[in-house]
Amino acid sequence: MIINGQSIKSVLYLFAFSFSLIFYCQGISQSSYPFQNPNLPINERIDDLMNRLTLEEKASMTLYNSPAIERLGIPEYNWWNEALHGVARAGKATVFPQAIGMAATFDEDLIERVSSAIADEARAKHNAAKAKGSYQQYTGLSFWTPNVNIYRDPRWGRGQETWGEDPYLTSMMGVAFVKGLQGDDPNHLKAAACAKHFAVHNGPEKTRHEFNAIPSEIDFHETYLPAFEALVKNGVAGVMCAYNQVYGSPCCGNTPLLKTILREQWGFDGYIVSDCWALSDFISFQKIVPDATDAAAMAVKAGVNLNCGTVYKSIPEAIKEGKITESELDAVLWPLLKTRIKLGLLDVGENLLYADIGPEVPGSEEHRQLAYEAAVKSVVLLKNKNQCLPLDLNEIHKIYVTGPTAADNAVLLGNYNGLSGQLVTLLEGIIQKVDAGTVVDYSMGALLNTDSVYHGIYHAGNSDVIIASIGNSRLLEGEEGDAMLSKSGGDRADIKLPENQVEFIRKLRQAGPDKKLIVVINGGGAIAFPEINDLADAVLFAWYPGEQGGKAIADLIFGDQNPSGRLPVTFYADTEDLPPFEDYSMKYRTYRYFSGEPLYAFGHGLSYTSFEYSDLKTNAEVFSTAEQIEVSLRISNSGNYEGEEVVQLYVKDTDPGPDRPIKSLKGIKRVFLKPGESQKVTFIIPLKDLRHWNTDIDEWKLNRGVYGIEVGASSVDIRQTISVKVIR
């Protein structure tokens, strides 16, 4: 029933929310204070509250699970919330593709729409929890996402959380995610994003609590830091310092990292949170300080505002012992109060911030369609021998669907995930797609990593098409302690698939040597599968594609959608192609420094149509005073399908010198074209983006000389080139 345009459900929800708010305000605080007045300037509100708090109350508000201060009408608040690819660990939510899958879309507009939807769901769930009087962990509005660490090595189990191996792509996608999550109101936050893990953090998982990363100065500034700086310059609310050490100092006690670089050089004015129990690592793993008071003092002096852990319970004692001062505590608390105020968490009165976002939002049809769009654009068509795909249902009588991930909900989710009642596996997607006259057989066929267990292979010989779904899952890779079947603490010791899966594909090919064999691979990063690549007619890499993954893959296989995903990481042919995992040098890593032959290159991805590149031009040949280079070209769809081309622009210094990249991505454009259409595409490259870190002067410097500009469909599929000369 509808009442004045609103459903009864919505009306009841608003009534319950209003009643609970009135009850809360009357029961705890009979009168409001200036710090609770949303009409006052933020600084006035913070000053008022700071003057009312005791030392112990101030210290309690620097803990992630901040208790209520009932005498002032301040509710408890838990800062620890996750939203890597949807509101996580809090029950019902739309599950979007894992971050590495969304990176494969190369689509910043899509990512901003996705994260805006996540923020809406976060507000809805927060409002609903608050209406019930619940302040549980994972019901808040401060989210410790996105993860903008560079995915330097595919063995890292948490690489799935990142936006790939490239600083430019990671920066672009990370900024888009932050903008969508936080909203565009300069005075308020829809939700608070947090850039993590600062800095130089990406495995191994087993030693992350004591590992000391020692990158070269060039790698530090040119690879590991740019994405963090980009997010800071675009207003990210928080930054999480990492567990590990950098240059011999723990990230969460590292004054040069947190104060000199983050605060002074970049101008960050948000809050810094420790990774969870990272301050305890000072004592137990890194053995830098003897006890909690010293750990608290070290972190406070470095500028850590919020402790995910318990060390900051010792702040009052540290002040009494003279290790820090109350004024230092005040400085630490200030950004936390500002963030809570911008989120509306301390407001009292009418017109509460985003209070009208109701419980119908999480898992809505609109968000489900957005998850579907993201899944479609994330899947990468790696191989398509003799135009095997798309399949024509009119020509197919029988399909055999098999493989350990074909009917597995877990491969849709990845890690740090929400839960949905709309999970569509690959098997379900195929069944929904085929007509009533098509026979579909299914068998799991093999397990993820158990040898000599195979089933249903005989179906391959009497089917027209074999669709085999294999790969990794959250059981084999993830964070320390989470990947139950990992023998490497969540990491992968070998980037190859388990041998039993390779043997499984061999058996399918042997049973159906003349059948179309389509292999769908799930995983959170680069996988080496050269033999499977040779055996299959078509290969699609699907990542962990979210709740609509099965529908998206089926629509791609049968041609209702045209693939447009691109690899955000290099796919190496063998683990032996990689340097030691513990080596944080970028030499021989990623497309920027790897000189070998990859299995599939960064940026690679096929389409059902073809695109032609022509007329590459720049606005000048020599640059002496201009601040930017303008590059234009024409893209034409010369094939038979409408589709999107992901046009990539790379720059290479023709005389790069030692420790410099082979080339670097500096521009991305997604272009949708119907058959026969063409479009002019323009890139603007700020000259400052061509700078390198100069170790002689410890500053960025634009080198004079000739720069090659390459435009193409991947880092190796270059279609047009041109050179410019910089003489500034």
pLDDT given for residue 115 in this prediction: 98
Q: For the segment 340-355, what is each residue's pLDDT rounded down to a tens digit?
A: 999 999 999 878 899 9
Which residues neighbour 136 within 8 Å (Cβ) at sequence distance 6 or greater?
A: 78, 129
Q: pTM for the whole thing?
A: 0.95
Q: For the segment 58-80, what is each residue's pLDDT rounded down to a tens digit?
A: 999 999 999 999 999 999 999 99
Strands 465-471 and 516-522: parallel
Is the model's pLDDT at 611 over the cut of 70?
yes
For residues 452-483, b (16+ Cβ closer than 10 Å) or e, as one string?
eebebbebbeebbbbbbbbbbbbbbbbbbebb
Of the pLDDT bands very low, low, confident and very high (cuts 50, 70, 90), residue 25 is very low
Write down the residue that tokens 């936050």 correspond to.
189
Q: What CATH code is assigned to 2-342?
A: 3.20.20.300
pLDDT given for residue 24 in this prediction: 43
CB 587 within 8 A of CB 593: yes
- The pLDDT of 549-571, averaged and rounded, is 98
Q: For the segment 253-285, what is each residue's pLDDT rounded down to a tens digit?
A: 999 999 999 999 999 999 999 999 999 999 999
Residue 659 bears catalytic tag: no
pLDDT given for residue 625 in this prediction: 86
Active-site entry in 120, 166, 275, 281: 275
Is the model's pLDDT at 538 over the cut of 50?
yes
Q: Which CATH architecture has domain 365-593?
A: 3-Layer(aba) Sandwich (3.40)
pLDDT given for residue 21 in this prediction: 46
Of the pLDDT bands very low, low, confident and very high (cuts 50, 70, 90), residue 5 is very low
Instruction: Considering the chain, tell me which residue range(s) the CATH 3.40.50.1700 domain(s) occupy.
Output: 365-593
Instruction: Considering the chain, tell me which residue range(s) the CATH 2.60.40.10 domain(s) occupy.
Output: 611-726
Half-sphere exposure of 611 toward its Cβ, with a 13 Å CA cutoff? Answer: 32
pLDDT given for residue 659 in this prediction: 84
pLDDT given for residue 349 in this prediction: 84
Task: Tell me the β-bridge partners of 722.
Answer: 709
- The pLDDT of 361-370, averaged and rounded, is 98
Is the model's pLDDT at 40 over the cut of 50?
yes
Is the model's pLDDT at 4 over the cut of 60?
no
Residue 563, token pair as written in the block: 């693939």
Of the pLDDT bands very low, low, confident and very high (cuts 50, 70, 90), residue 229 is very high
Q: Give the lowest-confidence range in 10-14, 76-80, 203-207, 256-260.
A: 10-14
State percent of the chain over pLDDT 70: 96
- The pLDDT of 131-153, averaged and rounded, is 97
Residue 155, token pair as written in the block: 């063995």
For residues 575-611, b (16+ Cβ closer than 10 Å) or e, as one string?
eebbeebebbbbeebbbbbbeeebbbbbbbbbbbbbb
Instruction: Considering the chain, tell me which residue range(s) the CATH 3.20.20.300 domain(s) occupy.
Output: 2-342
Of the pLDDT bands very low, low, confident and very high (cuts 50, 70, 90), residue 481 is confident
Cβ atoms within 10 Å, residue 168: 21
- The pLDDT of 482-495, averaged and rounded, is 94
- The pLDDT of 95-118, averaged and rounded, is 98
Is the model's pLDDT at 9 over the cut of 60?
no
CA–CA separation, 723 vs 571, rounded Å? 29
Q: For the segment 644-679, what is each residue's pLDDT rounded down to a tens digit?
A: 999 999 999 887 777 899 999 999 999 999 999 999
Residue 328 bears catalytic tag: no
CA–CA separation, 246 vs 201, rounded Å? 9
Task: Tell me the β-bridge partners of 317.
Answer: none
Note if the bond before 335 is cis, omega within 30 degrees: no
pLDDT given for residue 401 in this prediction: 98
Strands 718-726 and 678-686: unpaired
Is the model's pLDDT at 513 over the cut of 80?
yes
Is the model's pLDDT at 28 over the cut of 90?
no
Strands 538-541 and 516-522: parallel
Active-site entry in 281, 477, 653, 710: 477
Write down the residue that tokens 């390779």 correspond to.
502
Is the model's pLDDT at 23 over the cut of 70?
no
Half-sphere exposure of 495 toward its Cβ, with a 13 Å CA cutoff? Answer: 25
Cβ atoms within 10 Å, residue 620: 11
Q: Is 660 left (phi over 0), alpha (psi -120 to 50) or beta?
A: beta
pLDDT given for residue 633 in this prediction: 98
pLDDT given for residue 655 in this prediction: 78
- The 3-state secondary structure of 576-593 reads HHCCCCCCCCCCCCHHHH
Is the model's pLDDT at 561 over the cut of 90?
yes
**Alpha-carbon distances of 188 from 132, 337, 608, 641, rounded to whole Å:** 24, 13, 44, 44
CB 625 within 8 A of CB 687: no
Q: What CATH code is assigned to 611-726?
A: 2.60.40.10
